[in-house]
Amino acid sequence: MDRSNLTGLTDDALVSRLSTLCAEGHVLTARLIVHLIEVEDRRLDLRAACTSMFDFCQRRLGMSEGASFRRITAARLVKRFPTLLERIERGELHLSTLVLLRPHLDERNVEELAAAVAGKTQRQVEELLARLAPKPDVPSAIVEVGAPSNDAGPTLFAGADAAGASHAPSARIEPLSEARYKVQLTASAELKAKLERACDRMRHRNPSGDLAVVIDAAMDLLLAKLEKERLAKVRTPREPREPRVRSGSGLGSQRARTIPAGVRREVFERDGERCTFVDEAGARCPQRGHLELDHIEPRALGGTNAASNLRVRCRAHNRLAAEEMFGKAHVAERIDFRQRKSRAVAAPPPPPLSPPPPRVIELALRGLHNMGFSKLDARRAVEHVSQRRVANRDELDVQDLLRGAIAALT
Show contacts of 275-278: CB within 8 Å, 24+ apart.
Answer: 275/51, 275/312, 275/313, 275/314, 275/317, 276/311, 276/312, 276/313, 277/46, 277/49, 277/313, 277/314, 277/317, 277/320, 278/49
Pick from 88-97, 129-138, 181-190 the range whose average pLDDT is largest.
Answer: 88-97
pLDDT at 157: 33
Res. 151 pLDDT band, cuts 50 70 90? very low
Least confident stretch, 185-189, 232-236, 282-286, 364-368 = 232-236
3-state secondary structure of 250: coil
Alpha-carbon span 135 to 155, nearest angstrom = 27
Q: Average pLDDT of 6-28?
A: 91
pTM flag (> 0.85): no
Q: Is the pLDDT of residue 383 over 70?
A: yes
Q: Helix axis angle, 11-41 relative to 65-80, nearest 10°?
A: 70
More confidently predicted of 66 and 401? 66
Extents of the domains making up the chain: 16-132, 189-231, 251-346, 358-409
| Residue 72: per-residue pLDDT | 96
pLDDT at 389 over 70: no
pLDDT in tens, 373-382: 788 888 888 8
Q: What is the pLDDT of residue 271?
A: 94
pLDDT band at 165 (very low <50, low <70, confident <90, very high): very low
Give the pLDDT confidence of 204-263 residue by residue, as tens digits: 888 888 888 888 899 888 888 888 877 777 776 666 555 554 444 444 444 456 888 889
Q: Give the best-scoring range by mean pLDDT among 137-141, 142-146, 346-350.
A: 346-350
Distances (CA, A) of 381 to 65, 303, 408: 70, 53, 6
Mean pLDDT for the chain?
80
Q: Is 358-409 assigned to CATH 1.20.1630?
A: no
Top-confidence residue, 348 or 117: 117
Give yes or no for residue 166 having a pLDDT over 60.
no
Residue 160 · residue 52 · CB < 8 Å? yes
